[in-house]
Structure 1
Amino acid sequence: MYNAKAFSAASETSPLDSTTIVRRDPTDTDVQIEILYCGICHSDLHQVRNEWSGAMPTVYPCVPGHEIVGRVTKVGSAVTKFKVGDTAAVGCMVDSDGTCPECLAGFEQFCANSTLTYNFPDKHTGGVTYGGYSDSIVVDQRFVLHIPSGLDLAGAAPLLCAGITTYSPMHHWGVTKGKKVGIVGLGGLGHMGVKFAHALGAHVVLFTTSPNKKEDALRLGADEVVISRNADEMAKHAGSFDFILDAVSADHDINAYLHLLRRDGNLCLVGAPEKPLAVAAFNLLFGRRSLSGSPVGGIAETQEMLDFCGKHNITADVEIIPIQQVNEAYERLLKSDIKYRFVIDMASLKG
């Protein structure tokens, strides 16, 4: 065991503050990583403030962070995938049983015995896992990823959650050249959705309630921008989409988007509205349309996504902050005052 510097929340009403946590020494199959950058995901805020107490109650102290990019500083004797000095990344998972049908199929995100990067039982320490708001982390090599050379490391950090969350359903539902793809919402997830759909060759339409986001959406790769409150603009696209990625977490009418799908089209939720969404059955029956949801991807698919980003030079649009501003960043996150993802420069933790 060794001590690591971190920022943690002591309770659901406490601000994040500096602390010291205990990390395990690397085992034979472990990789120890000096964390250089860690993205801030909206789920970090939910977890810190115990807003998912029904499904995932928070254990304090809580060290969030699952968008981790760093440098390998130590490897176990059986590690073959990494060497000291490599750039490496860690996403939302740090372990799974490796033997169930889901793991064997490459879908570790669906493993019933997976271990999330923070606030999950830690079999090594007997406590809970601690995330990336820290100066280092130790992870089994199976859950460590390679960052392609040339990618901006700060911009690459959000790829470990926002990136794979949007890439995975596009991969699964076959977004390719010639497909018409809609992206609902232009936030941390939505802006990545636009970039991926554009790079995959699709005709990309961004749906937003904010006219002032049109210029930015076009810059990011959208071919068209539709103001979703304008009924005439929406009606022009009825029955024409192969796939729509819904990245909105606020309450909204998904029937308006189901109506835009062509035959066998799919609308996939990656946002997580607090309240159940009403679905009109006829919007699914007519046209054999489908409604789905998707979390992050498995490890192999996440590496595929990172390699794709390396090939197309895709990173998130980020605002880099020192860790001492993390509580302010959380408040700004609640106000959607960010384009499009906060990333913590972990060198600030040494100060």
Structure 2
Amino acid sequence: MGESTEQMQPKKAFGWAARDSSGVLSPFTFSRRATGEKDVTFKVLYCGICHSDLHFIKNEWEKDWASSYPLVPGHEIVGIVTEVGSKVEKFKVGDKVGVGCLVGSCHSCDNCANNLESYCPKMILTYGSIYYDRTTTYGGYSDIMVTDEHFVVSIPDNLPLDGGAPLLCAGITVYSPLKYFGLDKPGMHVGVVGLGGLGHLAVKFAKAMGVKATVISTSPNKKKEAIEHLGAHSFLVSRNQDEL
């Protein structure tokens, strides 16, 4: 006889879930799996709100990636480790950690071998996917997470947890191309199109790398923020042909 759901997922959890595509979240009690030998269990303290969460909540990507309900969103998750499995090597109880948009992959394809798990054809999203044990994954709008240590990252002690959460999606989205395409060398010059959730982080990363950043925006009123607050080198208004 196979294990029951309660045996497979004995950890009681509380979160906020969408029950349908209305966009409304409501309290949701569910269970997470026991801490496996390679798992890290942590108390969730902060979770960012990414616009893709809103798309999934409202099933706006139905044609390409249909949402299944109940759905607990959240993939910019940070907290404090409360338990680790017997074979966990990188983390201990009390560590500050985070989890982004993935919690699983095949570990055997070329993409996984090159640390490109986000391109794995069998990647498992932090929520709304089916895990190895055939249970549904639930995200960070909840009080605890249980995650394979391979998909857990360490949060430095000098980085506030609330500020670190958005780096796990918005941050890596702009940091990755800067590093991958070699645009992280002091003295280089990059253009950042738009100064929204991603753009302002791109400017901050560029400045920290010693790279000049020119912000290109449709909104002239963002010039002061870009240059004086974020440290952009220059600012162009895309609607102004003379500036382009």
TM-score range, shorter chain: over 0.9
Q: Please point out which of 11, 14, 23 is paired with 2:32.
A: 23
Rounded to whole Å, the distance in 1 between the matches of 2:136 and 2:65 is 12
How far residue 209 of structure 1 moved from its aligned partner, in angstroms, is 0.8
Q: Please point out which of 211, 214, 234 is paired with 1:224.
A: 234
1:65 pairs with 2:65: no
TM-score of the pair, normalised by structure 2:
0.93
Rounded to whole Å, the distance in 2 between the matches of 1:81 and 1:202 is 32
1:134 pairs with 2:148: no
| SS of match in other structure, 1:231 | coil
Q: Please point out which of 189, 201, 216 is paired with 1:192.
A: 201
Contact 1:204/1:222 (8 A) holds in 2: yes
After superposition, the C-alpha distances for 1:96-149 in whole angstroms (9 at most, x for unaligned) are 11111111111111111111101111223x232100000001001111110011
After superposition, the C-alpha distances for 1:167-207 in whole angstroms (9 at most, x for unaligned) are 00010111122222000011111111111111111121001
Rounded to whole Å, the distance in 1 between the matches of 2:186 and 2:36 is 45
Matches within 5 A, 1:100-115: 100-115=109-124
Matches within 5 A, 1:22-101: 22-101=31-110
Instruction: Kindly tell me the number of residue pairs found equivalent between the two proteins.
Output: 233
Matches within 5 A, 1:1-351: 1-124=10-133, 126-175=134-183, 176-218=185-227, 219-234=229-244
One-letter identity of the residue aligned with 2:98? A
How far residue 14 of structure 1 moved from its aligned partner, in angstroms, is 4.7
Following TM superposition, where does structure 1 have runs of at least 4 consecutive aligned residues deviating by more than 4 angstroms?
A: none
After superposition, the C-alpha distances for 1:73-103 in whole angstroms (9 at most, x for unaligned) are 0111111111111111101101111111111
After superposition, the C-alpha distances for 1:43-91 in whole angstroms (9 at most, x for unaligned) are 0000000000011100000100000110000111111111111111101
Contact 2:104/2:125 (8 A) holds in 1: yes
Rounded to whole Å, the distance in 2 between the matches of 1:66 and 1:76 is 22
Contact 1:65/1:132 (8 A) holds in 2: yes
One-letter identity of the residue aligned with 1:221? G
Contact 1:40/1:65 (8 A) holds in 2: yes
* Structure 1 vs Structure 2 CA RMSD: 0.9
TM-score of the pair, normalised by structure 1:
0.65
Rounded to whole Å, the distance in 2 between the matches of 1:41 and 1:35 is 16
- The share of aligned pairs that are identical, in percent, is 50
Rounded to whole Å, the distance in 1 between the matches of 2:107 and 2:161 is 29
Contact 1:59/1:128 (8 A) holds in 2: no
Rounded to whole Å, the distance in 1 between the matches of 2:37 and 2:180 is 34
Rounded to whole Å, the distance in 2 between the matches of 1:228 and 1:14 is 33
One-letter identity of the residue aligned with 2:233? D
Rounded to whole Å, the distance in 1 between the matches of 2:222 and 2:23 is 34
